[in-house]
Amino acid sequence: KQEVTQIPAALSVPEGENLVLNCSFTDSAIYNLQWFRQDPGKGLTSLLLIQSSQREQTSGRLNASLDKSSGRSTLYIAASQPGDSATYLCAVNTNAGKSTFGDGTTLTVKP
Amino acid sequence: EAGVAQSPRYKIIEKRQSVAFWCNPISGHATLYWYQQILGQGPKLLIQFQNNGVVDDSQLPKDRFSAERLKGVDSTLKIQPAKLEDSAVYLCASSFLTRNTEAFFGQGTRLTVV
């Protein structure tokens, strides 16, 4: 059974700092991995989708990396802004099309 | 492009009552998911449809939860009877295909059972 862990559970940083969010998974037989952002009381917004054959994906100030063999993905946020404050979730998708989410990292960027 | 629509946004019911949630996926998306998200946790998949067929309902509490997807488009999720532990946000998502495309989420329905 796939288990997904996100550490830390919460993170507070000053504005402008670069930061890394971590996602680890127990079964490396994945099809792809997706990072989401969730604002309080809202649904999930897709940030990046990284296929199992890819090492990284970039979108603006966001960069996601994937190391299947070690069961790890990181989301790098450059030059953080207060508007980046949200909960960040990773979801691991298996070859059978099943998604398992981590419990998320709640990020607070202080002005 | 219109997003995934869900209704209602909020619902408060007493335990043992029944409740239904509705989801309209993005047009053309074959795959539809229902997730339960308890406060402080990540979403947990309840059921996944491919068109109007069920792909995965292994985590759906079938004694009280049911879901259907009419004509492979809209879907409803029902809870009958509700328990206190069903209090959560119920998220609907859709994707064009199953595995290799992004999933898009609706705003969710926040259910409170008192």
Q: With CA atoms as reference, report the closest residue to A92 among A43, A35, A44.
A: A35
How close is the nearest chain B Cα to the Cα of A70, in Å? 21
**Chain B residue with Cα closest to A41:** B107
The per-residue pLDDT for B100 is 58
With a pLDDT cut of 70, the percent of chain A lying above it is 100
Task: Please give the structure tokens belonging to residue A3.
Answer: 């288990």
Side chain identity at B109, as an amino acid letter? T
Nearest chain B CA: its distance from A1 CA (Å): 12
SS3 A5: strand
pLDDT of A40-61, one tens digit each? Answer: 888 899 999 999 999 999 999 9
Q: Closest by alpha carbon to A102, among A77, A62, A81, A71?
A: A71
Whether B103 sits inside 8 A of A89 (CB atoms) is no
Return the pLDDT at A86. Answer: 97
CB pairs under 8 A between A and B: 58
Q: Are B91 and B43 in contact (CB under 8 A)?
A: yes
What single letter denotes the amino acid at residue A12?
Answer: S
Closest CA of chain B from A47, distance in Å? 10
pLDDT per residue as tens digits for the range A12-45: 999 999 999 999 999 988 989 999 999 988 889 9
